[in-house]
């Protein structure tokens, strides 16, 4: 069975599976060259870092992430796949001491939206880039343009009325407004900031049960459900299941999404 892109159908969901359709767009925008030294911000389990390393066959790629378990998985997968010009560090890109002008290109697949101080973070990344080095990142557009977020919040809306207020945690949509991003990157020392609209679906699993497990693992979902009594939580989960069933097709559970590819340059 193949999905709507013509690729083999996916199995159980993880973050790489969810964003598979976005990977090729990021690769095309990044245009990694043979000798490039690439920094991957918020690399997770390292899929995008390994892809960059393969493209930079005479260069290298470094992935950094604040999650130690994710970094360990990234190292294991790189070893298993035999990718030798790649390394991973457990680090916060906002404050980590990267080698000055040590990279030609910084990339990120939805890994830059959670900085405590985005201007300081991007300034730190900028110092790690050589003059004329490039930044290429994918970020979510505002929440109301992302069907997956709208649908989940709507399914949980009754639960929130029953006392589980929407949690005020990290904002996945903090870089959704282009004018805000332009101000942040300009203050951090970047120039030539540009945006490309990306509309690709996200994959939540091969069936409703898998998709429900995936959604219940979201911090916002688990926190909302955790504030309910057992009966109210059961009703909320039933609404989530119904919502996911409505998005099930022959190739799994998919949601529309909207993102930006943001490019910028260190002067």
Question: What are the pLDDT digits (tens) for 59-89?
Answer: 999 999 999 999 999 999 999 999 999 999 9
Contact between 188 and 41 (Cβ < 8 Å): no
The domain ranges of the chain are 15-143+170-204+255-265
| Nearest to 102, CA basis, from 54, 62, 56, 66 | 62
User: CA gyration radius for the chain?
Assistant: 19
15-143+170-204+255-265 belongs to which CATH class? alpha beta
Give the whole-angstrom CA distance, residue 158 versus residue 161.
5
pLDDT in tens, 140-193: 999 999 999 999 999 988 655 554 444 445 789 999 999 999 999 999 999 999
The reported pLDDT for the residue numbered 34 is 98
Q: Are strands 258-265 and 129-140 parallel, antiparallel or unpaired?
A: antiparallel
Q: How far is CA 27 from the centre of its chain?
A: 14
pLDDT in tens, 18-66: 999 999 999 999 999 999 999 999 999 999 999 999 999 999 999 999 9
Q: Would you say how long the chain is, in residues?
A: 267
Q: pTM value?
A: 0.91
Give the whole-angstrom CA distance, residue 63 versus residue 61.
7
| Nearest to 224, CA basis, from 147, 154, 146 | 154
Given a cut of 50, whether residue 3 has pLDDT beyond it is no
């Amino acid at each position: 069975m193949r999905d709507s892109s013509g690729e083999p159908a996916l199995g159980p969901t993880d973050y790489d599976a969810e964003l598979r359709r976005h990977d090729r767009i990021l690769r095309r925008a990044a245009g990694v060259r043979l000798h490039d030294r690439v920094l991957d911000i918020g690399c997770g389990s390292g899929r995008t870092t390994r892809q960059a390393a393969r493209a930079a066959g005479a260069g290298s790629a470094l992935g950094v992430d604040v999650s130690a378990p994710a970094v360990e998985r990234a190292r294991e997968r790189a070893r298993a796949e035999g990718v030798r010009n790649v390394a991973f560090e457990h680090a916060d890109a906002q404050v980590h001491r990267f080698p000055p002008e040590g990279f030609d290109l910084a990339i990120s697949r939805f890994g830059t939206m959670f900085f405590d101080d985005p201007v300081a973070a991007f300034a730190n990344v900028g110092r790690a880039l050589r003059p004329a080095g490039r930044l290429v990142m994918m970020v979510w557009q505002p929440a109301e343009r992302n069907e997956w977020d709208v649908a989940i919040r709507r399914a949980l809306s009754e639960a929130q009325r029953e006392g589980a207020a929407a949690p005020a945690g990290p904002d996945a949509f903090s870089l959704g407004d282009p004018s805000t991003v332009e101000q942040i990157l300009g203050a951090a020392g970047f120039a030539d900031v540009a945006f490309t609209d990306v509309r690709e679906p996200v994959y939540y699993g091969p069936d409703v049960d898998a998709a429900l497990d995936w959604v219940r693992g979201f911090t916002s979902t688990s926190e909302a459900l955790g504030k309910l009594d057992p009966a109210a939580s059961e009703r909320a989960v039933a609404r989530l299941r119904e919502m996911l069933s409505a998005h099930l097709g022959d190739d799994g559970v998919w949601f529309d999404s909207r993102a930006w590819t943001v490019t910028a340059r260190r002067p």
